[in-house]
């Protein structure tokens, strides 16, 4: 049976990207040697690195005064690497979920952290509003998409101080006004590739702004410039995930770029939220105005809780994979990232409708 992959991360990739990765492992770029066996100093690989950076710049419209880095360690490493690089003494954080809370914890190693608002009181089911961003801080940190709770900050906000965003789970899902941000970072494995590569987009005037002495690898500057061959090649880059990211972004570009990607994502999300709102057996958990286009969280409607296990079994029998909600939310979570085809969303909706009929 055809499987429909709704995993939250690592998650579904475009088939084209998977196929060309398989081929490249056998024979990279017509060299007769596999991608995993070549030197990262070969011209063929240097071209992939340069093209990958160019795809990022073209798709997101990243201005020239920003560097684009591909590093290891995951978004979790950026939770401390970011403050190490740009926090002099104080930073502000918006706490919209467990990932944001983890980022707060690591920032505290480098100075004072002010949590300007938190939605922990309601298990992070909404994005706090009406808070004031302090002006006596080095930066303000947000998490644009809260993967576990299915909430999302849908617009690029204005901030009186440097705005920093963890965009792990919604990068490349919509156009972004990059110049509103000082730093954008995230793990690739939610929306732009497999696990193993982390992207950091940093405005160059922020480099060295913490004034702190840093270990070579922690310092963003190390990964820019001549020693890094201008493109994250100071040391061996994670070649495989970067290659798959390259193929994934080519796929996004061929679809028409981020405007087109956003339209498709909106259509998928509207379809699924529409069914959740219509179907008397289910309810969504996130505040409607903050609903994520990437992670759709829902539970059984009040009084129908006893049907949860039965729906899970039914959905599995119909080929649905990865729809179990995170343990801190319960119920179901369908992650419908860029590469999740609309046919999978239609299949899940059909499943919910058939389940409703069974219980009429």
Ligand X SMILES: *Cc1c(COP(=O)(O)O)cnc(C)c1O
* The one catalytic residue among 56, 170, 190, 268: 190
Q: Which residue do the tokens 């160019």 mark?
A: 54
* Active-site residue, 179 included: no
**Among residues 95, 54, 100, which one has the least CA distance to residue 79?**
100
Q: Pick the catalytic residue: 45, 56, 99, 251?
A: 99
Preceding peptide of 263 cis, ω within 30°:
no
Bridge partners (DSSP) of residue 140 are 92, 163
166 annotated active-site: yes
For the bound state, the minimum distance from the C-beta of residue 333 to ligand X, rounded and expressed in Å, comes to 12
The least CB distance from residue 127 to ligand X, in Å, is 13
Nearest distance from residue 192's CB to ligand X, in Å?
12
Residue 185 pairs with which residues in a beta bridge?
Answer: 166, 200
Distances (CA, A) of 242 to 40, 51, 187: 11, 11, 12
Please work out, in degrees rounded to the nearest 5, the angle formed at the alpha carbon of residue 299 by the alpha carbons of 294 and 302: 150
Nearer Cβ to ligand X, position 213 or 327? Answer: 327
> Greatest CA span in the chain, whole angstroms?
67
75 versus 261: smaller Cβ distance to ligand X: 75
Binding site for ligand X (CB under 6 A): 9, 74-76, 99, 143, 147, 166, 168-169, 187, 190
* Element at 69 (helix H, strand E): strand 66-71
Residue 343 buriedness (CB in 10 A; 0-12 / 13-18 / 19+): exposed
Which is closer to ligand X, CB of 187 or CB of 284? Answer: 187
Minimum CB separation of residue 77 from ligand X in Å reads: 7
- Which contiguous run of DSSP H or E holds residue 201? strand 198-203
CB-wise, 10 or 257, nearer to ligand X? 10
User: Taking a C-beta distance cutoff of 8 angstroms, is the pair 265, 294 a contact?
Assistant: yes
* CB of residue 105 to ligand X, shortest distance in Å: 13
- Of the pair 31, 76, the CB lying nearest ligand X is at 76
Contact 199, 70 (CB under 8 A): yes
Beta bridge partners of 307: none
Residue closest to ligand X (Cβ): 187
Taking the mean position of all CA atoms in its chain, how far away is CA 165?
A: 11
- Which residue lies nearer to ligand X by CB, 99 or 126? 99
How many other C-beta atoms are found inside a 10 Å radius of the C-beta of residue 34?
13
Annotation says 190 is catalytic:
yes
Annotated catalytic residue: which of 45, 56, 138, 166?
A: 166
**Active-site residues: which are they?**
99, 166, 190
């Amino acid at each position: 049976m055809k499987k429909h992959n709704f995993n939250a991360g690592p998650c579904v990739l475009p088939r084209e990207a998977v196929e060309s990765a398989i081929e490249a492992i056998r024979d990279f770029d017509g060299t007769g040697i596999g991608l995993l066996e070549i030197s990262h100093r070969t011209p063929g690989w240097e071209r992939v690195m340069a093209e990958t950076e160019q795809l990022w710049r073209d798709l997101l419209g990243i201005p020239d005064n920003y560097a684009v880095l591909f590093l290891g360690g995951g978004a979790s490493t950026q939770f401390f690497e970011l403050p190490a690089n740009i926090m002099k003494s104080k930073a502000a954080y918006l706490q919209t979920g467990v990932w944001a809370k983890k980022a707060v914890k690591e920032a505290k190693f480098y100075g004072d952290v002010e949590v300007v608002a938190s939605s922990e009181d309601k298990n992070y089911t909404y994005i706090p509003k009406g808070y004031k961003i302090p002006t006596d801080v080095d930066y303000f940190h947000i998490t644009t998409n809260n993967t576990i709770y299915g909430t999302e900050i849908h617009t690029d906000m204005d901030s009186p101080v440097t705005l920093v965003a963890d965009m792990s789970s919604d990068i490349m899902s919509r156009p972004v006004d990059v110049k509103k941000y000082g730093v954008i970072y995230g793990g690739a494995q939610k929306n732009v590739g497999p696990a193993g590569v982390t992207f950091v987009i940093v405005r160059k005037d922020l480099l060295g702004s913490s004034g702190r002495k840093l270990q070579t690898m922690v310092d963003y500057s190390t990964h820019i410039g001549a020693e890094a061959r201008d493109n994250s090649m100071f040391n061996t880059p994670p070649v495989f995930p970067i290659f798959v990211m390259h193929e994934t972004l080519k796929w996004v570009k061929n679809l028409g770029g981020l405007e087109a990607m956003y339209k498709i994502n909106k259509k998928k999300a509207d379809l699924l939220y529409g069914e959740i709102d219509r179907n008397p057996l289910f309810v969504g958990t996130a505040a409607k105005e903050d609903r994520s286009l990437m992670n759709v969280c829902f539970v059984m409607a009040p009084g129908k809780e006893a049907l949860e296990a039965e729906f899970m079994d039914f959905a599995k029998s119909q080929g649905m994979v990865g729809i179990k909600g995170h343990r801190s939310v319960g119920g179901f979570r369908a992650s419908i990232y860029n590469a999740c085809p609309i046919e999978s969303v239609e299949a899940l909706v059909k499943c919910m409708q058939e389940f409703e009929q069974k219980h009429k």
